[in-house]
Amino acid sequence: MLILAGLGNPGSRYAGNRHNFGAMAVDAIARRWSFGAERRRFSSLAREGDIPLPSGASGGPVRALILKPQTFYNDSGQAVAEAMAFYKLGPADVVVFYDEIDLAPGRFRMKTGGGAAGNNGIRSITGRIGPDFRRARLGSGHPGHKDRVMGHVLSDFHKVELPWVRQLIDACAEALPLLAAGEDERYQTEVMRLAPAEKLDPKTSGRTD
């Protein structure tokens, strides 16, 4: 069993927010791989489904549980910990999709372990299950100053941004067999191949070295 947690805040009021980027990604995964209907479990909206392994890989499909925590973003750890304990899983079986302000818009990076980098949802999960879970980081860009971060993450994506937002979440869904096989580096590469984005500084929109 693989847990795919998409962070966000519950309710239609927040559905289009940058902070709900992770929830958007797991919704795209559910659509692409025909997961079952949502139901309330583990303080979340949860769906189950099967992910095929990449061509040439041995073994059958991987069973996966999608979680969209309904505890609000900053308490996401409660939902993840509940599901992990129920299925007797370890941190390596958990992949958290979330918005990353320290990545330029449209960029994507996989990472295992590390700190929270100011993200309270990640801090909450770390506090419940430790730091060694897998992180699927969806670049949403930085507003340029720390005082503007809260307003930025709780604002909707602009209409002109929606094409790259949709392209990125669809790429996360399409490349998922690689993630299910534990090939996180190849998954990252394939997502960025399917949804290429310039490597810009998230704060200034200037090119990074």
Mean pLDDT of the chain: 94
List, in order, residues 6 or more apart from 86 with CB less than 8 Å away: 42
For the segment 143-166, the average pLDDT, to the nearest whole number, is 93
Is the pLDDT score of 205 beyond 70? no
Do residues 10 and 72 touch, judged by C-beta distance below 8 A? Answer: yes
For the segment 18-34, the average pLDDT, to the nearest whole number, is 98
How buried is residue 153: exposed, middle or buried, by Cβ count under 10 Å (0-12/13-18/19+)? buried
Is the pLDDT score of 23 beyond 50? yes
pLDDT category of residue 19 using cuts at 50, 70 and 90: very high
At 153 the pLDDT is 94
Is the pLDDT score of 196 beyond 50? yes
Residue with tokens 């370890």: 90
Q: Which of 92, 65, 88 is nearest to 5 (CA)?
A: 65
What does 141-195 look like in DSSP terms, one character per residue?
Answer: ---SSGGGHHHHHTSBPPGGGHHHHHHHHHHHHHTHHHHHTT-HHHHHHHHHHHS
Domain boundaries, the chain: 2-194
For the segment 98-105, the average pLDDT, to the nearest whole number, is 95
For the segment 152-170, the average pLDDT, to the nearest whole number, is 96
Q: For residues 6 and 199, what is the distance between their CA atoms, to the nearest angstrom? A: 24
For the segment 82-101, the average pLDDT, to the nearest whole number, is 97
Residue 11: Cβ within 10 Å count? 10
Is the pLDDT score of 181 beyond 80? yes
Dihedrals phi, psi of 146, to nearest 5 degrees: -60, -25
Torsion of CA 7, 54, 132, 1, to 10 degrees: 70
Could you give the percent of the chain with pLDDT greater than 90?
88
Q: Which of 19, 142, 145, 152 is the catalytic position? A: 19
Annotation marks residue 142 as catalytic: no
DSSP conformational letter for 14: G
What is the layout of strands, in order, in the sheet containing 94-100? 39-41, 44-51, 62-69, 2-6, 94-100, 134-139, 108-112
DSSP conformational letter for 73: G
pLDDT 10s digits, 105-154:
999 999 999 999 999 999 999 999 999 999 999 999 998 888 899 999 99
Is the pLDDT score of 207 beyond 60? no
pLDDT category of residue 204 using cuts at 50, 70 and 90: low
At 208 the pLDDT is 39
pLDDT 10s digits, 43-71:
999 999 999 999 888 888 999 999 999 99
For the segment 97-110, the average pLDDT, to the nearest whole number, is 96
Q: Which of 93, 41, 91 is nearest to 68 (CA)?
A: 41
Do residues 21 and 99 touch, judged by C-beta distance below 8 A? Answer: yes
- Domain 2-194 sits in CATH at 3.40.50.1470
